[in-house]
A and B are shown apart, each in its own frame.
Chain A
Amino acid sequence: ELKVEQNPLFLSMQEGKNYTIYCNYSTTSDRLYWYRQDPGKSLESLFVLLSNGAVKQEGRLMASLDTKARLSTLHITAAVHDLSATHFCAVEITRVPTDQTGANNLFFGTGTRLTVIP
Chain B
Amino acid sequence: EAQVTQNPRYLITVTGKKLTVTCSQNMNHEYMSWYRQDPGLGLRQIYYSMNVEVTDKGDVPEGYKVSRKEKRNFPLILESPSPNQTSLYFCASRYRRTYNYGYTFGSGTRLTVV
> A interface vs B, CB < 8 Å?
4, 31, 33, 35, 40-45, 48, 50, 88, 90, 95, 97-100, 102-106, 108-111
Cα distance A108–B90 when bound, in Å? 13
- Look across to chain B and name the residue whose beta carbon is closest to the beta carbon of A50: B99
Which positions 30-75 of chain B face chain A at CB distance < 8 Å?
31, 33, 35, 40-45, 48, 50, 54, 56-59
B54, A108: Cβ atoms closer than 8 Å: no
Cα distance A109–B41 when bound, in Å? 8
B50, A103: Cβ atoms closer than 8 Å: yes
- Look across to chain A and name the residue whose beta carbon is closest to the beta carbon of B44: A108
- Look across to chain B and name the residue whose beta carbon is closest to the beta carbon of A4: B42
Whether A42 touches B106, Cβ cut-off 8 Å, given contacts A100-B54, A105-B48, is: yes
For the complex formed, measure the closest distance between the CB of A40 and the CB atoms of chain B, giving whole angstroms. 8
Cα distance A99–B50 when bound, in Å? 12
Tell me if B's interface is mostly helix, strand, loop or mixed.
strand
In the complex, 7 of the A-B residue pairs with CB atoms within 8 angstroms, ordered by the A residue number, are A50-B99, A90-B43, A98-B56, A102-B96, A105-B45, A105-B59, A108-B35
Whether A42 touches B101, Cβ cut-off 8 Å, given contacts A88-B43, A110-B41, is: no
A42 contacts which chain B residues (CB < 8 A)? 90, 105-108
Give the size range of B's interface with the partner.
20 to 34
Interface membership of B84, Cβ < 8 A:
no
B58, A108: Cβ atoms closer than 8 Å: no
Whether A104 touches B31, Cβ cut-off 8 Å, given contacts A41-B107, A98-B56, is: yes
Cα distance A43–B102 when bound, in Å? 12
Residue of A4, A50, A105 with most partner-chain B CB within 10 A: A105
B101 contacts which chain A residues (CB < 8 A)? 45, 48
Closest 7 CB pairs of A and B: A97-B56, A108-B42, A108-B43, A43-B105, A48-B102, A110-B42, A45-B102
Cα distance A105–B100 when bound, in Å? 16
Partner of B103, one of A33, A50, A97: A33
Cα distance A98–B58 when bound, in Å? 11
- Look across to chain B and name the residue whose beta carbon is closest to the beta carbon of A9: B40
Cα distance A88–B37 when bound, in Å? 12
